[in-house]
Amino acid sequence: MTSRERLETALGFREPDRPPHFEQMFELTEEAFGLREPTEAEYAAATGSERERLFERAAEIYARIVEAFRWDAVLTWRPAARNAAQYDFIPYLKRQLGDDVPVGSFVWESSVSIDTVKDYMDFAVRLFERPDEVHAWARDMLDRGLEHARRLIDAGCDIIDVASDYAFNAGSFISPEQFREFVTPYVAELVELIRRNGVTVILHSDGNLMQILDQILEIGPDVLQSIDPQAGMDIAEVKRLTHGKMSLMGNVQCSLLQDGPDEKILASAEYCLEHGAPGGGFIYSTSNTIFPGVPLRNYRLMLETMWDRFGV
């Protein structure tokens, strides 16, 4: 199967030859390839041929990641979201990777969330005493998110990851009732716009989402990522509740990838594959990203678990 076929099969709730795999981000490029990604400052300063050279450098890194780790799609984390260079880089990268590898990007900070609340005392007061201000703030963030999403769609994105954190390990960051008022309708509008344009939507959130999982299903993303095991998200139970309605991505525990030991990494990976893969609707990945400090060998161990299990 090609990467595109593998991903489409899985998202259609059918079993591909193996689960598709990619990560939201991979930040070990120097360890893996001896290559440094262009920085945001470099992108901001570059024009013309200089920017083209940065694109070439970045595209080489993404291509090396796809080849080395058998990624089935790429989400561009640099140039960063809302950096104007991104809208030109996405079609450039699509040409470099070819039609078989879907390419996407992120919409960040588009809703009321853990990420966007900066002063929790003030936020709590506004929730109860000045809810109109919270709605106005939510609308403003959504409007900016919609504009960014439209530009990503116009740039040719196959996938858009709507990334916010809505829960701590103990549960939703606001009550389910408040979530329904201040979050659900706004995120649903963004997701609907993206899906209406034929683009796959991943909704990312760490934490324990079980209190609001029904609302996430109503919001209607194609995929939910991260299915956070450190917060008690059991992929077997989440899949039981969502299969046929929403695909899942993630669940290999990041803290174990960082610290080990090997047997616990293997146990997390095996549990994830055992309960995530049957019946499709599953993308194999970590419960967050491959971030600095994760030993490269541990990530390879996670991948070899899948390759050995499926022989592909």
What torsion do the CA atoms of 205, 210, 216, 221 make, to the nearest 10 degrees?
60
CA distance 114 to 120: 9
Nearest CA-CA partner of 153 in 111, 90, 85: 90
Confidence bin at 259 (pLDDT 50/70/90): very high
Confidence bin at 84 (pLDDT 50/70/90): confident
CB 14 within 8 A of CB 296: no
CA distance 279 to 180: 30
CA distance 290 to 28: 7
Which residue segment(s) compose the domain that 165 sits in? 3-310
Instruction: Output the CA–CA distances (angstroms, integers) from residue 280 to 13, 77, 186, 244, in the order listed.
Output: 4, 27, 29, 9
Confidence bin at 80 (pLDDT 50/70/90): confident
Q: What DSSP designation does 244 have? A: T
Beta strands across the sheet bearing 103-108: 74-75, 103-108, 159-163, 200-204, 223-226, 247-252, 282-286
pLDDT number for residue 235 = 98
Nearest CA-CA partner of 298 in 65, 32, 63, 77: 32
Confidence bin at 48 (pLDDT 50/70/90): confident
- Domains contained in the chain, number: 1
* pTM (two decimals): 0.97
CA distance 256 to 122: 36
Average pLDDT of the residues in 99-103: 97
Look at 22-36, 42-56, 266-280 and tell me which has the smallest mean pLDDT: 42-56
Given a cut of 70, whether residue 81 has pLDDT beyond it is: no
Given a cut of 70, whether residue 76 has pLDDT beyond it is: yes
Given a cut of 80, whether residue 260 has pLDDT beyond it is: yes
Q: Tell me the pLDDT tens digit for each residue of 217-255.
A: 999 999 999 999 999 999 999 999 999 999 999 999 999
Give the domain CATH number at 101.
Answer: 3.20.20.210
Given a cut of 80, whether residue 147 has pLDDT beyond it is: yes
